[in-house]
Amino acid sequence: MASKTHAFEADTGKILDIVINSLYSNKEIFLRELISNASDAIDKRRYLAATDQSLQSDEAAAITLVADAKAKTLTIRDNGIGLNADDLTSSLGTIARSGSKAFLEQVEQAKSAEPKGDKKTKDAAFSLIGQFGVGFYSAFMVADKVEVISLKAGEGAAHKWTSDGRSGYQIDKAERANAGTDIILYLKKDAKDYLDETRLSYLVRKYSDHLSYPVFWQPPKVDEPRQLNSGSAIWTRQKSEISDEDYTQFYRQIGAGYDEPFMTLHNRTEGVLNYTSLLFLPTSRPFDLFNPDRKSRMQLYINRVFITEECEDIVPPWLRFVRGVIDTPDLDLNVSREMLQHNPAVVKIGKAVVKRVLTELQKKKDKEPEAYAAFWSEFGIVLKEGLYEDQDNRDKLLGLSLFTSARTGQLISLADYVAAMSGKQDKIYTLSAETVEQAQNSPHLEGFRARDIDVLLMTDPVDEFWMQAVHEFDGKAFASASRGAINLDEIAPKPSSDEADNQPADDEELAPLLAKVKSILGDTVKDVRLSKTLTDSPVCLVADEEGMDIQMERLMKAHNKDFTGAPRILELNPSHGLITGLKDKIKADQDPDLVHDAATMLFDQALILEGRTPVNLTEFASRMTRLMQRGVSA
């Protein structure tokens, strides 16, 4: 048969330029594309051979990589269905069909539509790209010339397709002993590393480790090839066939961790969208859990071909610790297999994954509360990000959330807190602090403890953010123990005391004290008032009803050194001896210097009690020295 030369149409050069230089962000995926095509060819032969025995092969299905360092060629060989001359034209020549002009028009429309957010137009363009079989043409990213030598199963003549990707392609007769295809890449100068066994082995494990068929490396001058991939996908097997040890080994393989999985979720979904999911929730927190650049370790496969580990639509950031695999046959790979962002099918799978994880966590929380509490201690801080970011799943996450109880020091759920509330309590009280220890020592808890009212301690930075968005649980509003004027006597009266020294003066008698302290402190405080919650401490600082808690102020200052925050309200304990003594000094108009130092020191003490530093440490030390001298000499 005479050589047939087919000239590419005028637009083809533009199309190949787009394929080679624009659509693929990573050259190495040419190998993934060609191995995937080889796997598809083997699948097709096995399918057709089921009804036509003449198509059956005496050889085991396999894909083989062969490198020739002298010729600078890499061959991808399969024993699949093969191609005849017509197939070579229709399958590899589709890029020269009349649709190329429409393709270019769609790409141009996509480019112009992108800034406007016209996603439908963009998707339509990339859908059209998929019709051209461009995955094969990714070979030209690394090759100056490509030869395809193929013998179709059941036929006697082999053919060779040759192209440089620019001037057209030729189809000639060729020699090949068995059915299948060889794709021979004449590598560019900057692609010689694809002749290296180590490099190829890495790429095969990365992209094609779980193909149904073995991928071999045929070393030069060696008879026996070496298998590069595992050739099996654990997630495709029945759960009854997989041991806990098998799951753990795979979990460690994909997660680079050494712990045991806290939970393993293996599920096959069939219906409008078909996919298999194998999800692992770790037991121990990975070292980079809070790294802002940390990527999800959820791997997306399409028909056992690895696509990406960076698909944000599958696992939201607040589930970034979940590891595993999603494998589906129902996604359109388009061209580069990296254009999956906001794909409706991927979004649907992602929602199902989130629902499954939250459902199983709720079951674990209900059935094994101690194990769940240990898990929450590791990952609760990340899950709580979802309270702020994911309104759709907020109620489920609130049900899963645990917080330290000021009463017991143990983790409790919001439902448990509400169930233990007294009859008159209608709010869920919280207190923000840097640590549980700091919160437990806060004067803001004194009145609550005296009345046996529990307070939930919020010690994670994320708490300040989600509490801006979440205002209630089960009809009970959240209320900060350090914000606003709280009258706990309306919930439960403070236990009475027989000690006369502990009986507070009336408000009218204390009015001069409040006015004097406010005049001394000036604008450093918003107001000075009597506390209805303090029992042991003389003072504390609170925010007004609309103000920031101290923790939020700390976070704001950490991100903006110029942030000063708003003046807070100084509350005085009318039952404390220090306050009543200061009241008497002011009433008698005695020792104004002592009154000034005492009032200022009370403010400094309040700052220290909430973990802050007095504004001027030198003046603070001087005041302390003066007051101690008076005490020693008295």
Quote the number of domains for the chain: 3
- Domain residues for 177? 4-227
Does the pLDDT value for residue 58 go beyond 90?
no
Q: Which two tokens stand for residue 561?
A: 């050194």
Q: What is the mean pLDDT of the chain?
A: 85
Residue 378 lies in a domain: no
Neighbours of 122 (CB within 10 A): 20
Q: Are residues 330 and 364 in the same domain?
A: yes
pLDDT bin (cut points 50, 70, 90) of residue 5 is confident
Together in a domain, 277 and 319: yes
CA separation for the pair 147, 77 (Å, rounded): 12
In this structure, the answer to whether residues 318 and 341 fall within a common structural domain is yes
Degrees, nearest 5: CA angle 191-142-333: 130
What pLDDT, on a 0 to 100 scale, did the predictor assign at position 552? Answer: 72
Distance between CA atoms of residues 238 and 247, nearest Å: 12
Pair 302, 338: CB distance under 8 Å: no
Confidence of residue 357 (pLDDT cuts 50, 70, 90): very high
- Domain annotation covers residue 395: no
**Cβ 300 vs Cβ 326: under 8 Å:** yes
Domain identity same for 586 and 511: yes
Residue 75 falls inside a structural domain: yes
Instruction: Give the integer Cα–Cα distance in Å for 549 and 567.
Output: 11
| Locus of tokens 């197939």 | 87
Q: Which amino acid is at 621?
A: A
Evaluate whether residue 184 is within a structural domain.
yes
8 Å CB contact between 431 and 393? no
Lowest mean pLDDT: which of 250-259, 368-377, 513-522? 250-259
3-class secondary structure, 530: strand
pLDDT band at 98 (very low <50, low <70, confident <90, very high): very low
Listed residues 196, 211, 227: the one ending a domain: 227
Max intra-chain CA distance, the chain = 121
Last residue of a domain, one of 175, 208, 227: 227
Same domain, yes or no, for 79 and 151?
yes
User: Stretch 420-434: mean pLDDT, rounded?
Assistant: 91
The model's pTM is 0.74
**Is residue 172 located within the same domain as residue 274?**
no
DSSP label at residue 289: T
In a shared domain, residues 140 and 252 = no
Residues 64 and 152 in one domain: yes
Q: Tell me the helix, strand and coil percentages in the chain, rounded to 5.
A: 45, 20, 35
261 and 220, same structural domain? no
The tens digit of pLDDT for each residue in 132-142 reads: 446 788 898 89
In a domain, 36, yes or no: yes
Higher pLDDT pick, 83 / 19: 83
Residue 528 · residue 569 · CB < 8 Å:
yes
Is 557 found in the same domain as 442? yes
